[in-house]
Structure formats: structure tokens, C-alpha cells
């Protein structure tokens, strides 16, 4: 049975299919039965460019547990990247933190 659980978000970036990269316009996140993976219900991520042909997509199917682990990894990387942007690269940096971060590398 279809779950009809779907979210669409604007996406800015690039995706690769075969040997070709294409710009993204949307990311579609859904929970439904797997189409390709030999699994039951999965979280699907489709990265697409709605201005290009239908094949302009990069899709993945993940178990719910894998999706949770990916979300946690994304949260950790986003937190570190926000610190990097705000503190280390001088956008509100505290000089002692910049020195400490530089020495930690």
C-alpha cells in the first residue's frame, strides 16, 4: 500500500548520473515501498532538475535505520560547517577560538 508520505524541497547543487553532472532544482524525500532495493518500505531521496528531461535525477532508497544514521551524520556535519563558517573563517570569530581550531587540525 502506498503511504503518500512525501516532502519536496528546493535544492541547489549538482548531481551525477553516469559520467554527466547536472544542476539540481529539487529534492524529493518520501517513504514508500522500494522500487529497486530488495527491501520493504524505504526512505527515497530523489535529486532532480525539473527543467531537464525526466532522466535528470539521482535517486536512492534507504532503510529507515540508514536514513536515521544519515540524518545524524548530516546534523553533525552541518553543525561543524556552521562553526567553521561563523567562527573559524572570521565571521564573528573569537581570536582564541580561531587559533585553537587552527592548531587542532
Please check whether residues 7 and 56 belong to one and the same domain. Answer: yes
What pLDDT score was predicted for residue 32? 87
Q: Which domain holds residue 87?
A: 64-105
Report d(CA 78, CA 76) in Å as an integer.
6
H or E element in which residue 14 lies: strand 14-17
Please check whether residues 74 and 96 belong to one and the same domain. Answer: yes
What pLDDT score was predicted for residue 80? 92
Give pLDDT tens digits along the chain (105 positions): 577 899 999 999 999 988 989 999 999 999 988 888 788 889 999 999 999 998 889 999 999 999 999 999 999 999 999 988 887 776 655 555 445 555 555
Please check whether residues 2 and 28 belong to one and the same domain. Answer: yes
What are the angstrom distances between the C-alpha of 1 and each of 31, 32, 36, 42? 11, 8, 16, 13
pTM higher than the cut 0.85: no
Check if the beta carbon of residue 60 is closer than 8 Å to that of residue 84.
no
Please check whether residues 10 and 58 belong to one and the same domain. Answer: yes
List the grid coordinates of 92: 564573528
Please check whether residues 82 and 97 belong to one and the same domain. Answer: yes
Please check whether residues 53 and 13 belong to one and the same domain. Answer: yes
Amino acid at each position: 500500500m502506498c503511504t503518500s508520505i512525501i516532502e519536496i524541497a528546493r535544492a541547489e547543487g549538482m548531481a551525477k548520473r553516469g559520467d554527466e553532472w547536472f544542476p539540481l532544482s529539487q529534492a524529493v524525500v518520501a517513504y514508500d515501498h522500494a522500487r529497486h532495493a530488495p527491501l520493504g518500505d524505504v526512505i527515497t531521496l530523489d535529486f532532480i532538475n525539473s527543467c531537464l528531461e525526466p532522466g535528470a535525477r539521482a535517486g536512492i532508497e534507504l532503510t529507515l535505520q540508514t536514513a536515521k544514521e544519515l540524518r545524524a551524520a548530516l546534523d553533525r556535519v552541518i553543525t561543524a560547517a556552521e562553526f567553521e563558517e561563523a567562527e573559524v573563517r572570521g565571521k564573528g570569530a573569537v581570536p582564541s577560538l580561531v587559533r585553537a581550531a587552527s592548531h587542532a587540525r
